[in-house]
Amino acid sequence: MNAMGFAWRSLVRQPARASLGVLGVAAVGALLFDMLLLSQGLVISMRDLLERTGFDLRVTATDALPGQGPLIPNAVERTQAISQLPSVRSAVALRFANAVVLAGAPRGVYTTFQGVAGTGAAHPWTILRGRDVTAGRPEIVINENTATRTRLDAGSRVMLRASCNGQEQALPPVRFTVSGIAQFPFDSPNGTTVATSLQMLATACGGNETNEADVIMVASQERAGPAAAVSDVAKLLPDLHVLSNAEAVNRFERGGFTYFRQISTVLTAVTLSFAVLLITVLLTVSINQRLGEIAALRALGFSRWRVVADVFCESVLIVGGGGLLSLPVGALLAIGLDHILKRIPGIPADVHFFVFQPSALQVHLLLLSATAIVAALYPIRIVARLPIAATLRDEVVG
Amino acid sequence: MWVRCILALTGAALIASATVHADDTLPPVLISRQLSEGEHLSVGDVIRLSASDNGSNVRQFRIAGIYEPTPDPARLGAVIREVQLHLPDLLGLTREPSAPSGSEYVQTINVALVDPNDADAFSRDVRARMPGIDAQPASGAAESTGPFIVLRRFHLAIAIVTIVASTVFLLALSIMLVDERRAAVGVLRLIGLPIRRILLQLFLEGLLIAVVGSVFGLALSLLSEGIINRFFQWRYDTTLVFVRVTPQVAAVCVAIAIPLGVSATVVASWALLRRNGLRLARR
């Protein structure tokens, strides 16, 4: 019988302790797997989301996030100038405001209000029902949450009161027609969003700021790539800040959400130490109980390397079994933890904290393999140095 | 009295010029430690501030002090570059040239009540008397909503998984440790000790181990509290406290750890003690 088969029989002979060992490794392994998914999950998810919007570059007035800094003046002309660059496919100017849709509730429904103007046919949202807004017409698209809460649908007419400069304003309400229901990529699960053309947003804002935007979103030509587009836009408009998706992700990575990466590193270290310590104790106690048996095997002709291999295979079986079990358990746990974390206000619905990636699985397997080896070192040392005659005498006399 | 009006430097241009003899008649400002270190500014320096990005309407101020910003988890990772001005100075700096004095607005008014217990009644009163203005009690606002409650739930979920893993391991260890003493327990049974008496002895042993383990765990957590806080405070350049082992948290941990440890010992012992004494004592 080979070492693995012998180790298997040793474990099966004591099913309770073997099962508990495997279950313990599964629980710790699941936590370890989740921490590995968390370490890069948010950044990967945000990168996917940015790429799915179809725009490679974001142009803003300052290095503040869109909507948090000053507006870009002459936004429409600048958007047109950007779109004529050879490395650019299309560009749209986007302005953010707030609005109360006067429907569905006595005081209306508070929403984020977006206005868009640009050269490309694509807007930064996806139409689910109805049709897109037509420039120059008093039309809006609304997201599903707004539709549900205001009980509006494509074709409905509604009054909307905008609030455009962060101050309490008493602007007159403006009548709009809902042209369609849209999905906005950065909507939070409970977020309510309304969008129209930049011109109609300016009208709703009192008509004083008709040509300003928070951000110009640019899609680069495939053959030129985002780097060339960044360079061209920066040369064309040196007073504005240009950020590619990769730079935005880097910035995001360095921002406040690095907390999750740090906490995942700390928990990974703690979890691994915990696993090594406990498997070492399990194996050591188990070996100490079987010293007489191991000495007898040595006396019967088992080599030192053979009994060392038996102990190592036991460690591999416990960690391997627990590790395999940890993957489905970890996946279920990740869904639950992701559900908890996504309740943080302002997190887009399509962003996830725990994202599976093959590299996380590879690191998981590598760490578990290292755990199996390190945890087996001390018991292996006991077995390798076991004095056969003295042990047999002690066991028999004792 | 300093009014907490923060002029974010995102939209404002800061032009600093250190002068040997600062003019005491200039309006004083406070600057954050991070801004002081980043721009090499110190107390007594004169700085010029403008609220517009084109540098118009520039005014001079004297740095009267450098302060450590109040730790804010929502701004974790951000380099806090702040200037605090007296409210009239800030309004004078940010007012549109065409806007008459007194027409400015502020975002927030902080109110200290004579009796803090009146906060809810006061906020209701303000909302009723001044439509368009919202008043909210400050106490508990940070904890009742937002990311903090979510993070607390997240850490609680991780703690539960850790407890489950620990319990499983503890049970495995207890089974092995009790099994190691099967011969001794068998002899005790054979000389006439009742199961209850042996179980009591094992219970007390388990209790002792659990108490010692809990004390060791608390000592370890107090040690790691300092290490984790120092690491994250260094990493994020903040005075925010990330981990705090409060008496309440310690009590909850002990309240979970000791019963778990004792239960694991008793369950493992019971499985052994149900066997026949002769079978236990047999080698």
- Residue pair B267/B171 in contact (Cβ under 8 Å)? The answer is yes
Give the pair of three-digit tokens for residue A7: 């180790």
What are the CA-CA distances from residue B58 to residues A395, B2, B9, B14, B50 (Å)? Answer: 91, 22, 14, 9, 5
Sign, CA torsion B182/B184/B188/B191: positive
Rounded to whole angstroms, how far apart are CA atoms B162 and B140? Answer: 29
Highest mean pLDDT among B10-24, B55-69, B73-87: B55-69
pLDDT (0 to 100) of residue B67:
93
**Residue A213 at interface with chain B, using a CB cutoff of 8 Å:** no
Q: Is the pLDDT of residue A354 over 80?
A: yes
State whether A267 and A366 are in the same domain.
Answer: yes
CB contact under 8 A, A285 and B173: yes
The closest alpha carbon to B74, from B157, B142, B166, B5, belongs to B142
CB atoms under 10 Å from CB of A393, counted, come to: 12
Do A182 and A288 sit in the same domain of this protein? Answer: no
Closest CA to B174 of B276, B273, B257, B267: B267
Whether residues A345 and B179 touch (CB distance < 8 A) is answered with: no
* Most confident region among A105-109, B3-7, B39-43, B133-137 by mean pLDDT: B39-43
Cα B71-B75-B77 angle, rounded to 5 deg: 100
Phi, psi for residue A179 in degrees, rounded to 5: -90, -25
Cβ B77–A259 below 8 Å, yes or no?
A: yes
Beta-strand pair A174-183/A139-142: parallel
Q: Based on the structure, what is the number of domains in chain A?
A: 2
Q: Does B148 touch chain A (CB under 8 A)?
A: no
Best of A344, A347, A351, A352 to mutate (most B CBs within 10 Å, chain B): A344
pLDDT of B16 over the 60 cut: no
* For residues A275-304, average pLDDT: 85
Q: Give the pLDDT of residue A21.
A: 83
Chain A, residues 55-94, CB within 8 A of chain B, namely 61-64, 68-70
Q: For the residues B52-56, what does the mean pLDDT come to?
A: 72
Contact B176 A167 (CB under 8 A): no
| Interface contact B168, partner A, CB < 8 A | yes
In the three-class reduction of DSSP (H, G, I as helix; E, B as strand; rest coil), residue A188 is classed as coil
| Nearest CA-CA distance, residue B181 and chain A, Å | 10
Report yes or no on A245 lying in a domain. no
Q: Which domain holds residue A230?
A: 62-239
Indicate if A384 and A264 belong to the same structural domain. Answer: yes
Residues A37 and A120 in one domain: no
- Name the domain boundary from A185, A205, A239: A239
pLDDT on residue A50: 85
Mean predicted confidence (pLDDT) in A145-171: 82
Query: How distant is the Cα of A92 from the closest Cα of chain B, in angstroms?
Result: 23
pLDDT reported for residue A120 = 62
Indicate the SS3 state at residue A140: strand
Q: Residue A114: inside a domain, yes or no? A: yes
Q: Given CA atoms B252, B253, B258, B259 in this order, what sign does their dihedral have?
A: positive
Which tokens belong to B112? 């200290």
- Residue A52 burial (CB < 10 Å; 0-12/13-18/19+)? exposed
Nearest to B53 by CA among A215, A71, A78: A71
Which of B74, B164, B235 minimises the CB distance to A27?
A: B164
Token output for A184: 């906005």
Yes or no, beta carbons of A20 and B175 under 8 Å apart: yes
Residues A129 and A159 in one domain: yes
A57 located within any domain: no
Q: Which residue of A has its CA nearest to B231?
A: A262
pLDDT band at B50 (very low <50, low <70, confident <90, very high): confident
Record: contact A256-B177, CB cut-off 8 A: no
With H, G, I as helix, E, B as strand and everything else as coil, classify residue B48.
strand
Binary contact (A259, B172; C-beta < 8 A): no
- In this predicted structure, what is the pLDDT of residue A246? 85
| A78 domain residue, yes or no | yes
Boundary residue ending a domain (A179, A206, A239)? A239
Chain A segment 235-254 residues within 8 A of B by beta carbon are 254
Question: Which residue stretches of chain B are H helix?
Answer: 33-39, 87-94, 119-129, 141-144, 147-180, 182-190, 195-236, 247-273, 277-281
Tell me what pLDDT residue A327 has.
94
**B75 to chain A: which residues are within 8 Å by CB?**
256
Residues in B closer than 8 angstroms to A281, CB to CB, are 173
- The residue type of A44 is I
- Chain A residue numbers with beta carbons less than 8 Å from the beta carbon of B158 are 31, 267, 337
Residues A393 and A325 in one domain: yes
User: How far, in Å, CA of B18 to CA of A109, rounded?
Assistant: 51
Taking the C-alpha atoms of residue B269 and residue B278, their distance in angstroms, rounded to an integer, is 16
Contact at CB, A262 and B232, closer than 8 angstroms:
yes
Q: Burial, B258: exposed, middle or buried (Cβ in 10 Å; 0-12, 13-18, 19+)?
A: middle
d(Cα A344, Cα A65) in Å, to the nearest integer? 19
Q: In the structure encoding, which two tokens stand for residue A251, read together?
A: 């910035």
Q: What is the pLDDT of residue B46?
A: 92
Whether residue B66 lies within 8 A of chain A, CB to CB, comes out as no
Last residue of a domain, one of A210, A239, A268: A239
Of B212, B208, B198, B193, which is closest to residue B268 (Cα–Cα)? B198
Statement: residue B141 has pLDDT above 60: no
Distances (CA, A) of A26 to A53, A354, B116, B169: 38, 18, 50, 11
User: Is residue A28 within 8 angstroms of chain B, CB to CB?
Assistant: yes
Spatial separation of the C-alpha atoms in residues A144 and A102, rounded to whole Å = 16
- Are A31 and B158 within 8 A, CB to CB? yes
Place of tokens 């659990």: B210
**Do residues A83 and A146 share a domain?**
yes
Whose CA is closest to A75, among A97, A55, A93, A95? Answer: A93
Q: Where are the domains positioned within chain B?
A: 5-110, 146-281
Instruction: Please tell me the distance from the alpha carbon of residue A252 to that of residue B208, in angstroms, as a whole number.
Output: 49
What is the pLDDT, as a whole number, of residue B61? 93
- Specify which residues B151 forms β-bridges with: none
The pLDDT-based confidence of A331 (bands split at 50, 70, 90) is very high
State whether A134 and A69 are in the same domain. Answer: yes
Q: Are A43 and A92 in the same domain?
A: no
Mean pLDDT for the stretch of residues B62-89? 84
A327 and A229 assigned to the same domain: no
The structure tokens listed for A336 are 């639950």
The Cα–Cα gap between B253 and A294 comes to 40
Distances (CA, A) of A304 to A10, A118, A308: 17, 77, 6
Nearest to A14 by CA among A373, A378, A348, A317: A317
pLDDT confidence of residue B167: 84
In this structure, are A265 and A235 located in the same domain? no
